[in-house]
Amino acid sequence: MTPAEVSLAVESVSKNFGGLAAVKEVSLRVERGERRGILGPNGAGKTTLFNLIAGDLKPSAGKILLHGQDITHMPNHQRAYLGMARTFQITNLFPNMTVIDNLLLAAQALDRAKFSMFRPIQSHEHIVARAERALEQIKMGDLRDIPIKHLSYGVQRQIEVALALVEEPKVLLLDEPTAGLSPAESAEMVGLLKELDPGITILIIEHDMDVAFELTDRLTVMHEGSILADGPKDEVRNNQTVQEIYLGYG
């Protein structure tokens, strides 16, 4: 049997903010197509870890590899070009613009990052097709021309997933996609995420253990910047320390 392909490797990565060690020597290996949940109490360092992986922050130490390529010092738009996309913990849409215009803007920005150095920007049709494909993937084609501000928060969060899908990612980082959603909206988001292309490697920061358990194969639990537990989801959920430190908060 051939060894599973490692999609993302984080090697002993740390991030200090002044005197605060927000991420401490974190190492992760995520296989191609894996669904990985990242859990941990507030301030554990989960979003900071995503910022480091996506290139929105520079690590104080350590290395990050995407499909074996060292991307530690690569700017975020180049990582996007290599297939890394993310969503944010806080809503990132333009409320007065329509759904399709938000997606077009993302598609355009990506094209500029990809091609501006080498050749003129890709055709308008190419950009539109990319935006429409992303909307189709979340099955919301009928909302195409509706301004964002007229949509429920639950639907807006789903549009944000489409915003990341515009990049046709190989690795997708989702920062609390169900935060602030009602149970019904959360169930819809889970349904959407389950339908995504199984070839995409997905890391999901999630506060709700039940949601994480439903969506992922393996769980990584962070606490005070370090990894407290990492492994198959059943093992992690039954881990005594995880139950004391993390689930105690739930």
The correct pick among 8, 10, 22, 173 for binding ligand ATP (CB under 6 A) is 22
The correct pick among 43, 62, 83, 147 for binding ligand ATP (CB under 6 A) is 43
Least gap, CB of 50 to ligand ATP (angstroms): 8
The correct pick among 45, 55, 59, 169 for binding ligand ATP (CB under 6 A) is 45
The answer to the question of residue 46 lying near ligand ATP (CB under 6 A) is yes
Least gap, CB of 172 to ligand ATP (angstroms): 17
Q: Is the CB of 140 or the CB of 203 nearer to ligand ATP?
A: 203
Q: Is the CB of 56 or the CB of 214 nearer to ligand ATP?
A: 56
Please state, in angstroms and rounded to a whole number, the distance separating the CA atoms of residues 165 and 178: 17
Give the position of tokens 């537990």.
Answer: 229
Interface segment toward ligand ATP; rule CB under 6 A; list 6-14, 45-53, 137-145, 184-192 = 45-53
Between strands 171-175 and 201-205, the pairing is parallel
Give the position of tokens 């959360």.
Answer: 186
H/E element, 39: strand 35-39
- Dihedral angle sign, alpha carbons of residues 197, 202, 206, 210: positive
Burial of 18 (0-12, 13-18, 19+ CB in 10 A): exposed
For residue 147, what is the DSSP state? B
Q: Which does 174 bind (CB under 5 to 8 A by kind): Mg ion, ligand ATP, none?
A: none
Site string for Mg ion, 76-95 (x = CB under 5 A): -------------x------
Please state, in angstroms and rounded to a whole number, the distance separating the CA atoms of residues 83 and 169: 4
Site string for ligand ATP, 82-111 (x = CB under 6 A): -------x----------------------
- Quick check: 21 and 14 in contact, CB under 8 A? yes
For residue 119, what is the DSSP state? S
Q: Which does 7 bind (CB under 5 to 8 A by kind): Mg ion, ligand ATP, none?
A: none
Question: How many C-beta atoms surround the C-beta of residue 217 within 10 A?
Answer: 14
Give the position of tokens 């910022």.
Answer: 51
The answer to the question of residue 42 lying near ligand ATP (CB under 6 A) is yes
Chain residues that interact with ligand ATP, rule: CB under 6 A: 17, 20, 22, 40, 42-48, 89
